[in-house]
Amino acid sequence: MARIALIASSFLPRMGGVEVHVANIATELVRLGHTVAIWAVDQGDEAPDDYRGIPVRYLPCPLPARTLPAAAGFLQQALPAWRAWHSALAADRPDVLNIQCFGPNGVYASALARTTGVPLVYSHHGETSGDANDVFGSSALLRRALTRTLAGADAVTSCSAHAAADLARFGRDPSTVKVISNGIDMAEPLGSPPPGLPSQYLLGIGRLVANKGFANLIRAYAEARPAAGLVIGGEGPEMGRLRALAGDLDVDAHFTGRLSRPEVGALMAGADALIVPSLAEAFGITVLEGWRAGVPVVVTDRGGPPEFVTDQVTGLLVDPEDVHALAEHIRRLDTDPELRHRLGAAGHAAVTGFTWVGAARLYSKVFEAATSAA
């Protein structure tokens, strides 16, 4: 069994798709007999130093900047940061470094692998094409670092074939990338839903950023005018704009703000339907969460979801920029309880094929091959 450092772009207290993936893969790798540490970018949060008994280290990742004051600050921060990374290496003694979603964490992890000879595995989560801030479009440093990492990595994985295809832009042949899908914890406990919810509601949930498509969901809801209410779960920089749009369109949307994992499960379980209108979605772990709850899903036809959602069988695929088509799907689900039941049951049956232990076993084989080749 190997000693593995999962090096995440973000971790607790944030809990989006990447964080959920890392938390569950770490847990299952330990159950398989591996020794795991989680290293994450230090973002100044108050966060625990362990997760279910797995050590978590928050490491500084300063990057060079263009302005003179910022460059001077980087020079002061770089050496202590590099020492912190070497201290983590000495403390955890990993046999393999695994970058989970490339950002500043990837720059440092890749450099650490090159200078120490520790095998490196990069796990892609669609960050090159699905990032709301387009960091790879704006940062030449990150583009160069990722290209170098892909050229030197002992193995590369991706959450979907769609996401893997984008790595060709950075010099990696997608056929050499191992696809490892997200999983779902069928036994994750449910909490209590947030107060003040409508008795019946359609649910959109995720980080409130532009590329998640919540603005088009509000527009489609305003056109469809279903009997069920609209709940938008999560937080993010688009909250104010979305509230204003709902007000302008006379949509009485309920915004929950930040949610705990148990609250997410409770929201899913109480929904009439889940709407995933993302303009770009590398995989779509939210779909699995909806399937687990047995609710019908309407999901974007862009990115990873069409690889595992069968249109009209396990969900309804839709062009997320076609507001009229999205409105029509909302009307159908609102007025056809048999359709809701059929799609929900089919999704619930399909989700059993997506387990974290299955994903962890695939990772284990990748890590074994990487360390054997070293």
Over residues 79-111, the pLDDT tens digits come to 999 999 999 999 999 999 999 999 999 999 999
Which residues lie closer than 8 Å to 39 by C-beta, 6 or more apart?
Answer: 5, 6, 7, 8, 56, 57, 58, 59, 88, 105, 109
Answer whether residue 275 shows pLDDT above 60: yes
User: pLDDT value at position 68?
Assistant: 58
Token pair 């889940």 is found at 274
Q: State phi, psi for 292 to the nearest 5 degrees.
A: -55, -40
Which ranges of 43-176 would DSSP assign to H, the alpha helix? Answer: 68-92, 104-116, 127-130, 135-138, 140-152, 161-165
Over residues 227-266, the pLDDT tens digits come to 999 999 999 999 999 999 999 999 999 999 999 889 999 9
- Say what the pTM is: 0.90
- Per the CB < 8 A criterion, the answer to whether 116 and 90 are in contact is no
How many other C-beta atoms can be found within 10 angstroms of the C-beta atom of residue 249?
13
- Per the CB < 8 A criterion, the answer to whether 287 and 305 are in contact is yes
Nearest-angstrom CA–CA distance, 44 and 25: 24
Q: How confident is the model at residue 303 (pLDDT cuts 50, 70, 90)?
A: very high
Q: How confident is the model at residue 69 (pLDDT cuts 50, 70, 90)?
A: low
Answer whether residue 76 shows pLDDT above 90: no
Nearest-angstrom CA–CA distance, 172 and 168: 5
- Per the CB < 8 A criterion, the answer to whether 309 and 242 are in contact is no
How many other C-beta atoms can be found within 10 angstroms of the C-beta atom of residue 227?
9
User: pLDDT value at position 137?
Assistant: 74
- Per the CB < 8 A criterion, the answer to whether 39 and 5 are in contact is yes
User: pLDDT value at position 26?
Assistant: 98
Nearest-angstrom CA–CA distance, 294 and 269: 7
**Rg of the Cα atoms in the chain:** 21
Q: Which amino acid is located at 373 in the chain?
A: A
Domains of the chain: 3-183+355-373 (3.40.50.2000), 201-353 (3.40.50.2000)
